[in-house]
Amino acid sequence: MRVVVLGAGTGVPARDHSPAGVYVQIAHEHVLLDAGAGTLQRLRRAGVTYLDLDRVFLTHYHPDHCLDLVSILFAARLPEPARTKPLTIYGPRGLRRLLRAFHRAYPNWLKPRTYRLNVKEVGEGTLWLPGYTVRTRRMNHYDTGALGYRLEAAGKRVVYSGDTETCQGIVELGEDADVLVLECSVPDRRKVAGCRRLVLTHFYPVFRGYDIRGRVRRAYRGPLTLARDLTSIRL
């Protein structure tokens, strides 16, 4: 299993901290978690292309988490090289409405021509996929209906929170995770689940010079990574 933080920042421009996106190679599939602006290009820098992607999971629909879905669908429509394998997009309620809005904004430019596109709105539960499972729980992020995701294969567990305040959902998903990729927009208020390795992401520029590591160490003593764009972890 391979995990690459493609974007460790927010919608506010900051060096080495781009809008949200996480790539996971799991079982025999290539999975993208969120797709903030520029994700498609950083995915390529990680050695993966839009042709490789099997599934995209969106946590919620703020622009810094979903804007490059337009770029992915546009690229996948191009005839050379032609994408042939199916692409499935998952997200909480509102995903179909979001895609309809994209299609209205870009008529006929995002519709698949050489592959099948599947769109699935999901709630809390477990998805059984080829060689792995994805467990979902509600996150506490305004009124977005946001979801966090826990991917598990061959006894290894990767969890991605997306944006969330402290909530039971992320505690449940993060328990015993081998890697927990957790947003860190407000570190003083963030409680930590019992994970084996904590990767903090979603940093605003205001945190430059702030002792995030020291704050986190008050509650968590395990391996800690403060992510930057293209931070990579192998399990």
Q: Which whole number is the average pLDDT over 29-53?
A: 97
Q: Report residue 61 as tokens.
A: 């629909």
Confidence band (pLDDT; 50, 70, 90) for 16?
Answer: very high
Domain of residue 192: give its range. 2-234
- Name the residue with tokens 């605003």: 204
pLDDT at res. 212: 83
Between 214 and 96, residue with greater pLDDT: 96
Residue 178 pLDDT greater than 70, yes or no: yes
Q: Which whole number is the average pLDDT over 215-231?
A: 87
Between 148 and 194, residue with greater pLDDT: 148
Cβ partners under 8 Å of residue 56, min gap 6:
31, 32, 33, 35, 69, 72, 87, 88, 89, 90
**Domain with 173 in it: what CATH number?**
3.60.15.10
Tally of domains in the chain: 1
131 φ, ψ to 5°? 85, 0
Q: Which whole number is the average pLDDT over 165-188?
A: 85
Which DSSP helix (H) or strand (E) runs through 169?
Answer: helix 168-174
pTM for the predicted model, two decimal places: 0.91
Cβ partners under 8 Å of residue 45, min gap 6:
230
126 φ, ψ to 5°? -130, 130
